Homo-oligomer: A and B are copies of this chain.
């Protein structure tokens, strides 16, 4: 922690041109960014208000004043609008596969910190789990609508499970066997598997 800047209170001194409301917004944003990074790296339980405050360069009391509690901070940090299913706009099976691989590519390139923070804690923190369920079921619904066909919802759920599995193993567990393979090869190898899940006659 020695390289952290010394905590400072939310004051007019460093930003004399800003109104009180603007300064408030600015420090909220800075705290949320720091919180997302720490929650993403180490999960809910291991992240402290003190560490977030230090990373944001503010006083811990200011974090409490803005967010009430670590739980309140976490809620704000992971709660983003539920993203539309990447495949909702797809017009055929190949576009669905492209959309899924595209969203997975984004995931492997670096998920947004809010998503990483949610995924990191989704197995151990009830609120992160509830939010993960909500996001995944919404994406499954969009995907099922785009794909239609028999058992569309089960297929969509399995497709989302595959992207969760690859993101967890690649981003959160950082398995060498995945990290050591270029992303375009991972996508090329996955493509026929995703396609197979969309085929109408799996037997």
Give residues in A with beta carbon < 8 Å to B: 42-46, 119-124, 129, 132-133, 136-137, 140, 151, 153-158, 160-166, 168-170, 172-178, 180-181, 185-186, 188-197, 199, 202-203
Contacts and interface: CB of A to CB of B under 8 A. Distances in A.
A166 B165 contact: yes
Given A46-B45, A173-B132, A189 B120 contact: no
B175 A202 contact: no
The oligomer's copy count stands at 2
A165 B158 CA distance: 9
The 5 closest A-B pairs by CB, nearest first: A165-B165, A43-B124, A45-B45, A157-B177, A192-B196
B175 A166 contact: no
B161 A46 contact: no
A176 B137 contact: yes
Given A165-B161, A168-B165, A185-B151, A203 B175 contact: no
Nearest to A166: B161
A146 to B, nearest CB: 15
B203 A191 contact: yes
23 contacts: A42-B124, A45-B124, A46-B124, A122-B173, A136-B173, A137-B176, A151-B181, A151-B189, A153-B181, A154-B189, A155-B189, A156-B177, A157-B169, A157-B178, A158-B193, A160-B169, A161-B168, A165-B168, A168-B168, A191-B202, A192-B203, A193-B196, A196-B196
